[in-house]
Structure 1
Amino acid sequence: LYEYLIQNADDAGARKFYLIADERSFNTPKPNSSLLTPEMILWQGPALWIYNDSEFTEKDFKSLRNLGRSEKSKDNTKIGRFGIGLNCCYHLSDVISFVSGEYITFLDPSQKWLPKTGNPPRKPRGIRIKFIEKDFMKRYSDQAKPYMDIEGCDFSKRFNGTLFRIPLRTKQFMSQSEISDKALSIDELVKM
Structure 2
Amino acid sequence: MGEHYFTAEPGASARPREVVFTIGGRDYELAAAGGVFSATRLDPGTTVLLKKAELPAADSAGSLLDLGCGYGPISMVLATRSPGTQVWAVDVNARARELTAENAKRLQVADRVRVADPDGVPGDVVFTQIWSNPPIRIGKEELHALLLRWLPRLTPGGTAWLVVAKHKGADSLQQWLAEQGWPTERHASGSGFRVLKVTRPEPA
Give the structure-2-normalised TM-score: 0.30
Higher relative contact order (CA 8 A, sep 6+): 1
Q: Which has the higher strand share?
A: 2
Give the structure-1-normalised TM-score: 0.31
